[in-house]
Structure 1
Amino acid sequence: MRRIIATILFLASGVTTAFASDPVGPVPRGSPSDWIKDDDYPSAERAKGVTGASGFRLLVGSDGSVKDCVISSSSGSPVLDATACALLKARASFAPGRDATGKKVESIFSSRVSWVLPAGFPINLPEPRSLTVLVDVSKEGVVEKCTVEKSVDFTTPSDPCVQYPVGRKGASFIGKDGKPIAVRFVNRMTNEVQAR
């Protein structure tokens, strides 16, 4: 009798396995292209001509709503990335994922938003401007002075002279006669407009 019961249990477990399905991820309701439109492009980033692709992962709840958004690969612009997640959380909707038994479960949906300027959109090129960093180095290779010359509207995220602290010793420079010489290192960054 035990052998028959064991065989029935074995056959029953085989039947369950045969009818079990693979887990299914969330399926977008409607078209994902409707989630973010051209009008959603942040105006400041558009004006600067900033483009990129925001890779994202959405945590989709068992009810099909977006519970969380994480940027998996940045567009290079924190503004574009934050905008993508905010709009996806507000607009994306899914048929929820299901486990192997068919039960609705939390699941992950991954994709990317491509931030592309519309065709014919004028890009605002920066006005001509310049920044010059001058570093005076003694013949012993010690930084003696660092100055910055810039046009009025040229902004930098930090002081360029931070890279060249006064008193720091570096390499000595050798003149044509083979002896150490004092030098001025000049680094120029410019935006200019040229006729062509």
Structure 2
Amino acid sequence: MIKEFSLLFALVALSSAAAAREPTAAVPIGSPGWWATSGDYPSDALKSKLEGTVAFRVKVDPDGKPNACEIIGSSGAPVLDEATCFLVMARAKFYPARDAKGQATEGVYSNAIRWILPPNVSKTLSPKSETLTFILDKDGSIKDCRFVVTGANAEETMKGKNLCNSHAAFNEPYRNADGKAVTKRVTMKSSLELEDVEE
């Protein structure tokens, strides 16, 4: 009888301990540092040389999936704020929050992403020009493609943005007035020029 009472008492004690455990918050699976990388830097932000820190809060469902994201501290640049929530929703995974009974439940997780321009991006604009030229063949394929950059950071630009490496193809070739496919050389140019202004 004493042994049965002791066993019953032990079971009740364990049950009470389990019922009284502390709730836990949602915890990221893996490093949040991989949710956004320099390769994810929005092109508009790169062009405008925008940087900033974005604080966010994400709601996590009982399966550990984010189901909503809100900005709780803006970078001041909407493009960076939007990119932050987009990437978090796409890549973040969590161990779900748990209630006092150990059951998975909805939770929240807060953090911040600091957007810093990659080292090869100059924070001041410099004169440069870019030229993309290629032959668009009769079957819509691209041949003899050349991408040339001159000016500041030309070598770095060529590495990260050589449009000839995309192996793109047009759906349709150029056609003459009779509708017959013809071969054309296409040349696209862009340039950035600086001019002194009297103050």
How many residues are treated as equivalent by the alignment?
A: 122
What pairs up with 1:161-180 in 2 under 5 angstroms? none
SS of residue matched to 2:119: coil
SS of residue matched to 1:118: coil
The answer on whether the counterparts of 1:47 and 1:124 sit within 8 Å (CA) in structure 2 is: no
What's the CA shift for 1:192?
5.8
TM-score by length of 2: 0.55
Aligned to 2:111: 111
AA in 2 matched with 1:98: R
SS of residue matched to 2:39: helix
SS of residue matched to 1:80: helix
Q: RMSD of aligned C-alpha atoms?
A: 2.9
TM-score by length of 1: 0.55
Aligned to 1:62: 62
Q: Between 55-64 and 31-40, report the one with greater CA deviation.
A: 31-40
The answer on whether the counterparts of 2:22 and 2:100 sit within 8 Å (CA) in structure 1 is: yes
CA distance 1:126–1:78, change in 2 (3 Å): farther
The answer on whether the counterparts of 1:57 and 1:109 sit within 8 Å (CA) in structure 2 is: yes
Aligned to 1:75: 75
Percent identical across equivalent pairs? 39
Rounded to whole Å, the distance in 1 between the matches of 2:111 and 2:32 is 10
Rounded to whole Å, the distance in 2 between the matches of 1:53 and 1:193 is 33
Consecutive unaligned residues of structure 2, counting only runs of 5 or more, are 1-11, 128-194
What's the CA shift for 1:49?
1.2
Rounded to whole Å, the distance in 2 between the matches of 1:15 and 1:31 is 34
Moved over 3 A (4+): 14-19, 124-127, 191-194
Consecutive unaligned residues of structure 1, counting only runs of 5 or more, are 1-11, 128-190
What's the CA shift for 1:121?
2.1
Whose radius of gyration is greater, 1 or 2?
A: 1
What's the CA shift for 1:102?
0.3
